[in-house]
Amino acid sequence: MLAALAPDVSWPNGWEGGIVRGHDQVRAYWRRQWAAIDPVVVPTAFHTEDDGRVTVTVHQVVRTLQGLVVADQLVKHVYRFTDGLIVDMEIQD
């Protein structure tokens, strides 16, 4: 997955809050997240914005490692690309 991200990508830390930047920070964030929770994100719709960003509506189910559902919701992930790589992503409710 990191190969699809620009080296200086800006990525939301939707679990702990804030933003992480670059491959090393994104990798560390994902590892922490997946060691503590079990998120499943399924795309349900795609839309290209007038400015070229791509909005993906996703059904997100987050469970504890013991299987307890802590979130079940639709959210939007908005991606901006440069030269075919994701340079930033934001999460919208």
Structural domain span for residue 23: 2-92
Mean pLDDT of all residues in 52-77: 97
Check whether 74 has a pLDDT greater than 90: yes
Would strands 85-92 and 5-12 be described as parallel, antiparallel, or unpaired? parallel
pTM for this prediction? 0.92
CATH of the domain at 27: 3.10.450.50
Mean pLDDT of all residues in 5-28: 97
Instruction: Please list the alpha-helical segments (H only) found in 1-93.
Output: 22-36
Where residue 30 falls among pLDDT bands split at 50, 70, 90?
very high
Count of the separate structural domains present in the chain: 1
Check whether 34 has a pLDDT greater than 90: yes
Q: Taking the CB of residue 5, how many other CB atoms lie within 10 A of it?
A: 19
Check whether 93 has a pLDDT greater than 90: no
Residue 61 CB burial class (10 angstroms; 0-12, 13-18, ≥19): middle
Q: What is the pLDDT of residue 79?
A: 98
Q: What is the pLDDT of residue 86?
A: 98
Residue 11 CB burial class (10 angstroms; 0-12, 13-18, ≥19): buried
